[in-house]
Amino acid sequence: NSPKAAPAPVDHGGATYVGEAVCIACHATQNNQFMHTAHANAFRLNPKNEAQKVSCESCHGPGSNHLKDPISPSNRGSLVGFTKEWGTPIEKQNAMCLTCHQGEQRMFWPGSAHATQNLACSDCHNPMAKLSETGLLKKATINETCYTCHQQQRAEFAKRSHMPLPEGKMSCVDCHNPHGSTTKPALKADSVNELCYNCHTEKRGPFLWEHAPVRENCLTCHNAHGSNHDKLLTVARPFSCQQCHGNPGHQTTFFNAGQSVGGGAGVNSRVLGRSCQTCHSQVHGSNHPAGARFQR
C-alpha cells in the first residue's frame, strides 16, 4: 500500500477467528485493562456486526495463524500489532482502525499533516488501556498526548500570556482536529477567525468601523498559544501597532525608554499600560458612529 492511500481491505493470509476466550487464556493481563475501554464495552455489550463480536480479533485480525507459533518473531505477521516492537506496517495498522472509524471527524485523515508524517493511529491512541477518560489516548489527557511531539507548543503555553491549557480548562482539540481538516494547521473551522470567534464571539462583529487585519486574521497581531507579551501579542505595544501605522503624528513617534514614568523627561501615555489601546480601546472594531479611530 502507498503511504497515503484510502484504506484497503486487510489481507490476513487465510487465518480464521478463534474467539476472545482463546486470546484471554494467554493475555489475561491485557484483558484486565482492555475490559475497561470503550472498545470492550462496545464489542462485548452491544456489538453492531460480526466483526465487532470477535472482540480482540476485530482489531488484531483472525488469530489462527498466530496460534500456530505465538512466540517466534518471524510469525508476527500473522497478527496486526500496534506497537513498534511488533512491526506491523503503519498502513496495515491504520487500515484496521479505519474499517470501523472511517468518515465523521476522520474524513480528512488521508492527506492530513499527521498522515503525511506517516503517523499511526496508535502513535496517539492506546486502544488497549483506559489511560484517558475518552479517546483511548496514549496519555492521560489530550494535551499531554499532543505535547509528546509538539514540545514547542508546550513551551508557548508556559509563557506570560497563554491559553488556559496548563490550568486544565482547554485542550488542543478545542481548536485543532488532529485527524485533519480543510486547513493546513488542522483547524476545526474554515479559517483562523471563524475558529477564534467560537469563544470570542464579541469580536465577531461585523462592525460599523472595522480594522482590516482584525477582519482577515487574528494572528496578524496575536500568537495563538502563548506570548512573552500581554494579550498574546506578537510584539510589545506600541511597536505592534507601528508595524502597519505610518501616518503622520503619534503613529510614527519613536517611542523609547525615556517615555515611561521615571524614565526621563517625556512621559508618553502610549508607552504606559495598555499603550495605544488606552485611547484606541475598540481596536477590534467600533460600532459607534464616531468610532473611525476606535476611541468610542
Q: Which of residues 13-32 bind other proteins (CB under 8 A)?
A: 29, 32
118: left (phi over 0), alpha (psi -120 to 50) or beta: left
Among 27, 53, 76, 215, binds other proteins (CB under 8 A): 215
Q: Which is nearer to other proteins, 78 or 153 (CB)?
A: 153
What is the nearest approach in angstroms of other proteins to the Cβ of residue 296?
A: 5
The yes or no reply on residue 90 touching other proteins (CB under 8 A) is: yes
Q: Which is nearer to other proteins, 12 or 284 (CB)?
A: 284
Q: Which is nearer to other proteins, 64 or 217 (CB)?
A: 217
The yes or no reply on residue 203 touching other proteins (CB under 8 A) is: yes
The yes or no reply on residue 131 touching other proteins (CB under 8 A) is: yes
As a whole number of angstroms, the distance between CA 25 and CA 31 comes to 10
**Pick from 246, 226, 56, 241: nearest CA to 154:** 226
Residues 30-59, interacting with other proteins (CB under 8 A): 32-33, 35-36, 38, 41-42, 44-49, 52
What is the nearest approach in angstroms of other proteins to the Cβ of residue 112?
A: 10
Using the structure block, give the residue that is written with the C-alpha cell 480528512.
Answer: 108
Q: Which three cell numbers stand for residue 132?
A: 484517558
Q: Which three cell numbers stand for residue 277?
A: 489601546
Which H helix or E strand runs over 94?
helix 90-101
The yes or no reply on residue 282 touching other proteins (CB under 8 A) is: yes
Q: Hey, what amino acid is at 98?
A: L
List Cα–Cα distances, 267 to 108, 230, 263, 271, in angstroms: 54, 21, 8, 8
**Pick from 201, 195, 202, 214: nearest CA to 283:** 214
Stretch that binds other proteins, among 10-18, 53-61, 69-77, 103-111 (CB under 8 A): 103-111
What is the nearest approach in angstroms of other proteins to the Cβ of residue 17?
A: 19
